[in-house]
Each structure stands twice: as structure tokens, then as C-alpha cells.
Amino acid sequence: MIKGDRIFGAFMMVVALGYILNARGIQTSFMSDPVGPRLFPYLVGGVVMISALVMVLRPDPDEEWPAGPMIGQLALALAVLAGYAYAITPLGFLIPTAIAAGVLSWQIGGNPRRSVLAGLGLSIGLFLLFRVLLGLGLKALPAGMGF
């Protein structure tokens, strides 16, 4: 995949540059913090740019593409993540995150009991991190079920 890595890396460098240039247009309020709202998009674009540059300069040797059961595992992971994106607004943060994290941790190789515990732990831990420490206005549960 040497050639493919270089093509993808060059493409991602263009995308990252466009992302960074687009972030320049973010309006700042007169009451914004010293860092401003542009820092996060700049950081994301910078990390993507550096990663893409590494792919161009040091591509991986040829690898074999997954086949058979691995394609099914990848399709399941994609379906879980797409379902998560659609479910988080109507169901709140905790339920979809617990399900998605549990299924994905089971796929990584955990047993079902540990995967359920990992899903619940990640769901609650991330909610507390985002809600309490970062102050984001996440809905925990569906409307009418709680906070």
C-alpha cells in the first residue's frame, strides 16, 4: 500500500488545509476566552496535517486487506457507529454510548460480561467528564426520563 498511503496522505493534507482555512472564518465574540473558538479546529487540522505528512514520507509496506469474517466485523462496527450517531439525539448520551461501547469492546475481544461493564463504565465516565468537568449541555437520558 505504499502508493495508496501516499495518495491518501496527500489527499488528507489538502483536506486538513481546507479545514484549517475554513476555521479562520469562525466568528469570535467580544466576550470569548483568551484561547478563542478557533483553537480546537486548528489543533485537529494540525494533527491531521502532521499524520498525513508522515503517511506521505513513510508509508507502510504492502499489507493484505481483511477478508471473510473480518469484513463482517468491520461492517458491524460501522453499523454500530452509524446507529450511535442517529440514536444519541433522541435517546440521550448514556444509553447509546453504553450500547456502542459495549458492542465495540466485545468486538475487541472481551467476554460479554466485561463488555457490558466496559460499556456502562465508559458511558457514565464520559458523561461525567463532558458534563461536569467540561460543562457541556448533554442530555443524559431521553426527554421525560431524567436529567
Mean pLDDT by 10-residue block, N- to C-terminus, for the chain (147 residues)? Answer: 83 93 77 67 91 90 79 93 93 93 91 92 92 82 71
Overall pTM > 0.75: no
Determine how many CB atoms are found less than 10 A away from the CB of residue 127.
19
Q: Are residues 42 and 73 in the same domain?
A: no
The predicted pLDDT at position 134 comes to 79
Residue 37 near residue 28 (C-beta atoms within 8 A): yes
Cα(77)–Cα(54) distance, rounded to whole angstroms? 27
Q: Are residues 52 and 76 in the same domain?
A: no
Q: Are residues 93 and 129 in the same domain?
A: yes
Q: Are residues 21 and 43 in the same domain?
A: yes
The predicted pLDDT at position 50 comes to 95
* Chain position carrying cell 458491524: 76
Q: What is the dihedral of CA 143, 131, 39, 51, to 10 degrees?
A: -90
Q: Are residues 38 and 76 in the same domain?
A: no
Q: Are residues 46 and 80 in the same domain?
A: no
Domain span holding position 110: 69-133
Q: Are residues 75 and 124 in the same domain?
A: yes
Structural domain total, the chain: 2
